[in-house]
Amino acid sequence: MDTVRDLNALRETIAGLRQEGGRIALVPTMGALHAGHVALVEAARDRGAKVVASIFVNPKQFGPNEDLARYPRREMADLKMLADAGCDVAWLPPIEVMYPDGFATNIAVNGVSDLWDGAARPGHFDGVATVVTKLFHQVDPDLALFGEKDFQQLAVIRRMVADLDMDIEIVGVPTQRDDDGLALSSRNIYLDEDERAKAVALPRALGVAARAIAKGETAADVIADASASLTAAGFEIDYVALVDAETLTADPAADRPRRILAAARMGATRLIDNIAIE
């Protein structure tokens, strides 16, 4: 695996990969990699692509009171994990390449960015859309892979790519989970032992709710029950909502693809998760 920190070198390396044939896949990450990221690299390889994974902790997507300073950084372990997963190129852009002095551009994907996590974390999805656009221009991938765990992020990127005629296939990869069902996240390490044990209530509540809605139970009652069970488990809820899986608007028609989204705090740690209505 090539580890690249210079933009010209990246472009040369990718030109070399293109000459070998096949598609180029981008797996954007902020590091602190886990099996969920490995699944993204594997999904790219399964599609026959050469894989470029970026590692960049993007300051623009953190709010002033969020965890930018303490976000886990472990480059050596990340690079080993990417190499073991069969990644071809690790792209580690320096901050001055991503945001040079005078950087003044903001990509805002209105509507879908403003709901749910966007309401709880103002500016977050502008930061994501802006950095992902830069990464797309740097790598020029044929496809890019994102985890479904960040379901709203995936919806924002899909909207942006469609709106701006970016010729990039966006692939959503199912959430990877611990044995008890908790979605893998780089932030799970913030949970202490007691919080980690209680956190399993989140995927359980979503599972129960998704089955009840699929059976035709009233959405408002189901969401109220899920919220009550999360509160009883010790969560402080940001939102639990049944949404349209494309627009993420509430009260979706029953014949549309639907999803339940949730965000809740366990102690100081904010967890998100989601589940499809089958």
Q: Which residues pair with 265 in a beta bridge?
A: 236, 270
Which residue shows structure tokens 């709203």?
152
CB 145 within 8 A of CB 171: yes
Active site residue 37: yes
Within a 10 A sphere around the Cβ of 166, how many other Cβ atoms? 17
In whole angstroms, what is the distance from residue 99 CA to residue 94 CA? 9
The two tokens of residue 165 are 């005629």
Secondary structure class of 180 (helix, strand, coil): coil
Q: How far is the CB of 54 from ligand PAF (least distance, A)?
A: 7
Cβ atoms of 258 and 245 closer than 8 Å:
yes
- CB nearer to ligand PAF: give 173 or 242: 173
Helix axes 124-139, 7-19, angle to 10 degrees: 60
Pick 129 or 226: Cβ nearer ligand PAF: 129
Binding of ligand PAF at residue 132 (CB under 6 A)? yes
Only one of the segments 13-21, 65-73, 106-114, 124-132 lies at the binding site for ligand PAF (rule: CB under 6 A); that segment is: 124-132
Residue with tokens 């590091």: 31
Q: How far is the CB of 43 from ligand PAF (least distance, A)?
A: 15
Contact segment (CB under 6 A) with ligand PAF among 13-21, 72-80, 125-133, 245-253 equals 125-133
| Residue 128 interacts with ligand PAF (CB under 6 A): yes or no | yes
Backbone φ and ψ for 267, nearest 5 degrees, come out as 60, -130
* Residue with Cβ nearer ligand PAF (28 or 252): 28
- For 113-122, letters b (16+ CB in 10 Å) and e give bebbbbeebe
Q: Give 61 or 176: the residue with its C-beta nearer to ligand PAF.
A: 61
Residue 36 interacts with ligand PAF (CB under 6 A)? no
Stretch that binds ligand PAF, among 11-19, 23-31, 160-168, 226-234 (CB under 6 A): 23-31
Please identify, using beta-carbon distances, which residue of 88 and 219 lies nearer to ligand PAF: 88
Q: How many CB atoms lie within 10 A of CB 203?
A: 21
Q: Which of 28, 93, 141, 252 binds ligand PAF (CB under 6 A)?
A: 28
Q: How far is the CB of 15 from ligand PAF (least distance, A)?
A: 24
Applying CB under 6 A, the site for ligand PAF has a residue count of: 10
Site string for ligand PAF, 136-175 (x = CB under 6 A): --------------x--x----------------------
Is there binding between residue 30 and ligand PAF (CB under 6 A)? yes
Which positions from 53 through 72 interact with ligand PAF, judged by CB under 6 A? 58, 61
Structure tokens at 238: 């940001």
Nearest-angstrom CA–CA distance, 14 and 4? 11
**Residue 264, strand partner residues:** 237, 271
Annotated catalytic sites, by residue?
37
Residue numbers of the site for ligand PAF (CB under 6 A)? 28-30, 58, 61, 128, 131-132, 150, 153
